[in-house]
Amino acid sequence: MEPDLLTEVILTHPRQSLGKVMLDWTPQPGNYLDLEGKTYAVLERRHRYQLKAGRYRLNKIALYVQSAARPAEKSFVEGRWVIGDASCRFNAHSELIRCAVNPEGPCDRCRYYETHM
C-alpha cells in the first residue's frame, strides 16, 4: 500500500461510506479494523488503478466491511489467524467463519467437537 493513499472504508449493509482513513498496514479479508470506537471485519479489498505516463499506478483502495466483534477464540494456522479451535475437524480454517455446526461458538463447550486427525 502506498503510504500517502487514503483508503475508503465502506459498510456493506446498509451500504454507506464510513469515510477515508490513512492506514499504516494492508488489511486482508478476515482482518479486523477499529474505526471511531467500533470494530469491523474486512470482507473485501478493492484496488483501482490509473494509467499515467504509460504505467498503471494504484489510485484508490476501498475496504468493504461489516460490523463485528473480535472473536475471543483464535488459532494460528499456516501463517494466519483463524476463528475458533483449529484442532476440531469441523473448523472451517477461515478468518470469517468458525464452522458449519457451531458458527457462533464457543468451541470449548461445543457438543460436536471432534479432534482433527
How far is CA 4 from its chain centroid?
Answer: 22
pLDDT cut 70: percent of the chain above it: 96
The pLDDT value recorded for residue 4 is: 59
Alpha-carbon distance 50 to 63, whole Å?
Answer: 18
Q: What is the mean pLDDT of the chain?
A: 86
User: To which H or E segment does residue 8 belong?
Assistant: strand 7-11
Is residue 79 pLDDT above 80, yes or no? no
**Cα radius of gyration rounded to whole Å, the chain:** 17
Give the tens place of pLDDT for each residue, 40-56: 999 999 999 999 999 99
Is residue 92 pLDDT above 80, yes or no? yes
Grid cell digits, residue 35 = 474505526
CB 78 within 8 A of CB 22: no
The pLDDT value recorded for residue 117 is: 61
Cis amide prior to 29 (ω within 30 degrees): no
CB 79 within 8 A of CB 64: no
Is residue 91 pLDDT above 80, yes or no? yes
The pLDDT value recorded for residue 1 is: 45
Average pLDDT over residues 60-87: 84
- Where along the chain do its domains lie? 7-67, 72-117
